Chains A and B, each alone.
Chain A
Amino acid sequence: MSFVRKQKYLIDYTLSSLGRRPGKNLGLLLVYTLIVFMLASVMLFTHSLRTEAGLVLQESPEVILQRMVAGRHDLIPADYLDRIGRVRGVSEKYGRLWGYFYDPAVRANYTLMVPRDREIVPGGVVIGAGIARTRGLDEGDFLTFRSSAGEPVSFRVVGLLDHESELVSADLMLVNEATFREFFGIAEDYYTDIVLRVRNPREVRKVAEKLAVKLPDTRPILRDEILRTYDAIFGWRQGIVFVLLGGAILAFVIFAWDKASGLSAEERREIGILKAIGWETADVIRMKFWEGAIVSLAAFFLGYLLAYGHVFYLSAALFEPVLKGWAVLYPEFQPVPFVDGLQVATLFFFTVFPYTVATIVPIWQASITDPDTVMR
């Protein structure tokens, strides 16, 4: 009980001590909070993007088969579906039609696709929110492009894709098969690629090996590989932001070290008085430990909360251009709030811990001096 009371007295004294140097401590808290805010924003945002991308890709097929000609992706003949024949573990296989279209009016690439689960009227198009925003379109409006044959083709907007999947669908245009083939001039017996559904994840690799043997001019792409690629892309983008933040972090470290380790004459005198009136070296160190801990914990929680609000309520407005989207049109989406315990712990360890230690060392040096110095 007395131990708890003693800690309460020490914290009480620490708080009043912090209050007595408002300029120094508020400045430190501000800079410290800003650093935690920036680091936590990047971490929360990239983590959330990865999670989001993972969720979206969960629905995608396990294996995508592409035909290669001279090392480049080419259209795949429809009879390859028959040549694959029966492969153990494959529950479904079908050809897909998709491609890119450059819209010179807004200087952006759109992704055109034929959906399997959605019937779209001939000449109709369902567009992603990014396109709708950039071109100012709504249902019933018309969109005209030049086809591969040089003819103008008008699409009527029959639907908009919902916001939730905007991260990957901002630039998406869904059309029916006949419209797609006509627009791009793709013959009836060709697909962009073939996808295979494999129920058992342990069989995916085996299926891919069999495909590579049966159809040597194709390459199977596994969903796991795509996930890994996205992961690497986000990891790389996060890395770039961290490098950019590196300078700021270094400046903070110097600032914090200076603030935390440089004891003013007034503080040294105060430590001398405390020792002379009966405080032990350990009490003084504990008090200063609380001082460092209070400042860094406050900055950590404040910075983390601000980052949480910034990422999940303001869509990470500060980092959006660097971190978000592989669609050419910038998507507008609200990341799903998700906090990773390990990430919080890492951030905590790299911010709170060094500062607290930095405050202890000089205090220890000051507090082991003989208390009789205040008598002189």
Chain B
Amino acid sequence: MIHLEQVKKAFNQGRTNEFWAVRGITLELEANRATVLKGPSGSGKTTLLSMIGCLSRPTSGRITLEGRLLSNLPERFMTDVRRSTFGFIFQQFNLIKGLTVLENVMLPAYPLGPDHRALKQAALGLLKQFGLADRADYKAEWLSGGEAQRTAICRAMINQPRILIADEPTANLDTRLVREFMAMVRDLVDMGKTVLLTSHDPMVFDSPQVAAVLEMRDGLLAEA
């Protein structure tokens, strides 16, 4: 589904503090399953994930999605692909404070200008599905960690993406909530979604819901 070929990413290129976060990765990610990128901090997981999710471009190399080259798209098209193909769940959840749970979930759809009633119904449907129906009118900052994460998942799902990207999704959660999250990952895969996670938590990469684990070290894939 997603193919990476000799993907490299440098920060501050050409300056004295030049740093290569990803140093040449070639891999194939399969659809309809959960894949985990594991590795220590600074190994390049998040950088790789952001390139796959069209949040940034590789310095060199190619990324294709079902044969379509993503890595050299202009910003506008990249945003288009990002919006329609990927849903993001961030480590800090990144909900917007002051907005309600419902508004946070609807937010990624605003630039598409959908019918308001239909959008609200879709958002409420997602909140119900993830057990947040009674939290729709809560402000984002009033939520517990688990609720905030489920809200972030609903927000990632609102544009019906095929691929969900989660960066260290369990870093701020206790054991019970990690188990709950992994159950949700299983549900998402059952719904036909492709899930791509980064984590260095054994509860995630040893979980039976995960189909593939790729280990990274120093910007490269570690040999299995």
Cβ-defined contact, A375 with B76, below 8 A = no
Instruction: Knowing A277-B155, A280-B79, say if A6 contacts B113 (CB, 8 Å).
Output: yes
Cβ-defined contact, A372 with B111, below 8 A = no
Within 8 A of B (CB), among A316-374: 370-372, 374
Cβ-defined contact, B112 with A6, below 8 A = yes
CA A2 to CA B118, docked complex, whole Å: 13
The smallest beta-carbon distance between A14 and chain B, in angstroms, is: 11
- B119-152: CB near A (< 8 Å → 1, else 0) gives 0000000000000000000000000000000000
Cβ-defined contact, A280 with B50, below 8 A = no
Say if the beta carbon of B2 comes within 8 Å of chain A. Answer: no
Say if the beta carbon of A66 comes within 8 Å of chain B. Answer: no
Determine which of B47, B88, B113 lies in contact with A5 in the assembled complex, contact meaning CB atoms within 8 Å: B113
Give the chain B neighbours of A370 by CB distance below 8 A: 55-56
Give the chain B neighbours of A273 by CB distance below 8 A: 94, 96
The smallest beta-carbon distance between A275 and chain B, in angstroms, is: 8
Give the chain A neighbours of B56 by CB distance below 8 A: 370-372
Say if the beta carbon of A207 comes within 8 Å of chain B. Answer: no
Cβ-defined contact, A280 with B76, below 8 A = yes
Say if the beta carbon of B75 comes within 8 Å of chain A. Answer: yes
Determine which of A270, A283, A371 lies in contact with B111 in the assembled complex, contact meaning CB atoms within 8 Å: A283
Q: How many A-B Cβ pairs are below 8 Å?
A: 87
Determine which of B49, B98, B110 lies in contact with A6 in the assembled complex, contact meaning CB atoms within 8 Å: B110
Say if the beta carbon of B212 comes within 8 Å of chain A. Answer: no
Cβ-defined contact, A375 with B50, below 8 A = yes
Cβ-defined contact, B98 with A16, below 8 A = yes
- How would you classify the secondary structure of chain B's contact residues: helix, strand, loop or mixed? helix
Cβ-defined contact, B167 with A375, below 8 A = yes
The smallest beta-carbon distance between A145 and chain B, in angstroms, is: 73
Say if the beta carbon of B99 comes within 8 Å of chain A. Answer: yes
Cβ-defined contact, B111 with A6, below 8 A = yes
Instruction: Knowing A5-B115, A375-B50, A375-B55, say if A279 contacts B94 (CB, 8 Å).
Output: no
Give the chain A neighbours of B115 by CB distance below 8 A: 5
Looking across the interface, which residue of chain B has its beta carbon closest to that of A16? Answer: B99
Give the chain B neighbours of A3 by CB distance below 8 A: 113
Give the chain B neighbours of A7 by CB distance below 8 A: 113
CA A281 to CA B77, docked complex, whole Å: 12
Say if the beta carbon of B46 comes within 8 Å of chain A. Answer: yes
Interface centre among B90, B99, B111 (most CB of A within 10 A): B111
CA A20 to CA B113, docked complex, whole Å: 23
Cβ-defined contact, A270 with B55, below 8 A = no
Cβ-defined contact, A276 with B90, below 8 A = yes
CA A34 to CA B71, docked complex, whole Å: 51
Cβ-defined contact, B75 with A280, below 8 A = yes
Give the chain B neighbours of A280 by CB distance below 8 A: 75-76, 79, 111
CA A191 to CA B75, docked complex, whole Å: 85
Say if the beta carbon of A278 comes within 8 Å of chain B. Answer: yes
CA A273 to CA B96, docked complex, whole Å: 8
Instruction: Knowing A2-B112, A6-B110, A374-B94, say if A278 contacts B50 (CB, 8 Å).
Output: no
Cβ-defined contact, A278 with B96, below 8 A = no
Cβ-defined contact, B107 with A274, below 8 A = yes
Instruction: Knowing A2-B112, A371-B55, A375-B167, say if A276 contacts B98 (CB, 8 Å).
Output: no
Give the chain A neighbours of B94 by CB distance below 8 A: 269, 273, 276, 374
Beyond A6-B113, A279-B108: 14 further Cβ-contacts under 8 Å?
Answer: A2-B113, A7-B113, A8-B113, A9-B110, A9-B116, A19-B98, A20-B99, A278-B83, A279-B111, A280-B75, A280-B111, A374-B90, A375-B49, A375-B91
6 contacts between A and B (CB under 8 A): A5-B116, A266-B97, A276-B90, A277-B155, A281-B75, A376-B46
A residues bordering B, Cβ < 8 Å? Answer: 1-10, 12-13, 16, 19-20, 266, 269-270, 273-283, 370-372, 374-376
